[in-house]
């Protein structure tokens, strides 16, 4: 066996192992969601069973869950919209030739993206109560800007930096104003970047729990809270909990499969030209 072949086999072995490790919990939960309570906790685990759809029927018929699901969709849409409306011009401005302290600003943006979410919940709680933003999807999307906005600016700036500055100058010579250059040159060229950023924003918003827990009560509950709701005081509805968890994963899964190329392209930024 040649060195190259051994290396290939080894890397496949590692990939299969890593794939199994990351998929195992999901497969396990999927198993629970399709089993009766008795089957779900049988020892040794039942690998072969007759799937039942009762849990899914229950979850999909549950108004609270459906509301949470669509609240999350709305929060993701609104959160992205706000982030891009503000973030794109901000990134464009940050990408100009001479920006004082650009490095510091970019580092600060990345830092604020990494701050723990709960940090914002406590001060916002009082403010939201006072302004009526408490328990509203709009309010949630607004607080989500604490991480989506810096991230969006940071990402879009990186994509704009990949656009040769000579294009900006050429457009200027043709009489284009800055906003026209942004709209007609930078945005089309950074389209894959917008897609990647939107996807990553959406994933983060979709999975967000801490802020939603602190700033919503009923009307604006998100899908993560709706999933958690199957964990009652006295007992846990394991089947429904699992079915809800799997359901909540589906949009992201479809999203990821469809947009895999953009995500990878977006993460490696200018590396692939």
Determine, following the binding rule CB under 8 A, whether residue 167 of this chain makes contact with another protein. Answer: yes
Closest separation in Å from C-beta 26 to another protein? 39
Q: Peptide bond before 44: cis, by omega within 30 degrees of 0?
A: yes
- Select from 50, 166, 257, 271 the one that contacts another protein (CB under 8 A): 166
Of 7-15, 49-57, 62-70, 162-170, the segment contacting another protein by CB under 8 A is 162-170
Q: In residues, how long is the chain?
A: 273
Q: How many residues line the site for another protein (CB under 8 A)?
A: 16
The smaller minimum CB distance to another protein, of residues 43 and 166, is found at 166
Residues 186-245 contacting another protein, CB under 8 A? 188-189
Closest separation in Å from C-beta 263 to another protein? 21
Exposure letters 141-160 (e unless 16+ CB within 10 A, then b): bbbbbbbbbbbbbbbbbbbb
The smaller minimum CB distance to another protein, of residues 31 and 192, is found at 192
The smaller minimum CB distance to another protein, of residues 28 and 179, is found at 179
The smaller minimum CB distance to another protein, of residues 153 and 181, is found at 181
- Select from 27, 169, 219, 236 the one that contacts another protein (CB under 8 A): 169
Of 8-16, 40-48, 181-189, 218-226, the segment contacting another protein by CB under 8 A is 181-189
CB 105 within 8 A of CB 40: no
The smaller minimum CB distance to another protein, of residues 6 and 184, is found at 184
Residue 236's SS3 state is strand
Determine, following the binding rule CB under 8 A, whether residue 102 of this chain makes contact with another protein. Answer: no
DSSP label of 269: G
Of 105-113, 136-144, 164-172, 254-262, the segment contacting another protein by CB under 8 A is 164-172
Closest separation in Å from C-beta 266 to another protein? 17
Determine, following the binding rule CB under 8 A, whether residue 175 of this chain makes contact with another protein. Answer: yes
Residue 270's SS3 state is helix
Determine, following the binding rule CB under 8 A, whether residue 101 of this chain makes contact with another protein. Answer: no
Determine, following the binding rule CB under 8 A, whether residue 170 of this chain makes contact with another protein. Answer: yes
DSSP label of 121: H
d(CA 41, CA 140): 37
Closest by CA position to 159, among listed 131, 197, 125: 197
CB 74 within 8 A of CB 212: no
Measure CA of the first residue to CA of the last residue in the chain; give whole Å: 36
Determine, following the binding rule CB under 8 A, whether residue 174 of this chain makes contact with another protein. Answer: yes
DSSP assignment of 129-174: HHHT-TT-HHHHHHHHHHHHHHHHHHHHHHHHHTS-HHHHHHHHHT
The smaller minimum CB distance to another protein, of residues 184 and 231, is found at 184
Residues linked to residue 236 through DSSP beta bridges, in sequence order: 231
d(CA 72, CA 225): 10
> Which residues of the shown chain bind another protein in the complex (CB under 8 A)?
164, 166-167, 169-176, 180, 184-185, 188-189
């Amino acid at each position: 066996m040649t060195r190259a072949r051994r290396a290939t086999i080894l890397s496949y072995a590692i990939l299969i192992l890593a794939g199994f490790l990351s998929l195992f919990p999901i497969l396990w939960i999927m198993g629970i969601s399709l089993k009766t309570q008795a089957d779900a906790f049988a020892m040794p685990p039942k690998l072969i069973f007759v799937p039942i759809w009762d849990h899914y029927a229950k979850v999909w018929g549950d108004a609270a869950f459906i509301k949470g699901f669509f609240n999350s969709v709305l929060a993701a849409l609104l959160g992205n919209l706000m982030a891009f409306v503000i973030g794109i011009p901000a990134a464009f401005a940050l990408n100009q030739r001479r920006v004082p302290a650009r490095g510091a600003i970019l580092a600060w943006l990345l830092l604020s993206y990494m701050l723990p979410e709960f940090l914002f919940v406590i001060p916002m709680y009082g403010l939201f109560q006072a302004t009526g933003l408490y328990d509203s999807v709009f309010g949630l999307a607004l607080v989500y800007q604490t991480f989506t906005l810096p991230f969006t600016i940071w990402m879009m700036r990186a994509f704009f930096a990949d656009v040769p500055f000579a294009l900006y100058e050429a457009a200027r010579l043709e009489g284009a104003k800055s906003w026209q250059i942004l709209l007609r040159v930078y945005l089309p060229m950074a389209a894959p970047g917008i897609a990647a950023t939107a996807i990553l924003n959406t994933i983060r918003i979709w999975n967000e729990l801490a802020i939603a827990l602190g700033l919503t009560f009923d009307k604006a509950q998100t899908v993560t809270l709706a999933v958690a709701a199957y964990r009652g005081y006295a007992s846990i509805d394991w089947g429904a909990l699992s079915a809800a968890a799997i359901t909540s994963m589906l949009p992201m899964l479809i999203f990821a499969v469809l947009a895999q190329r953009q995500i990878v392209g977006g993460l490696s930024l200018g590396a692939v030209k």
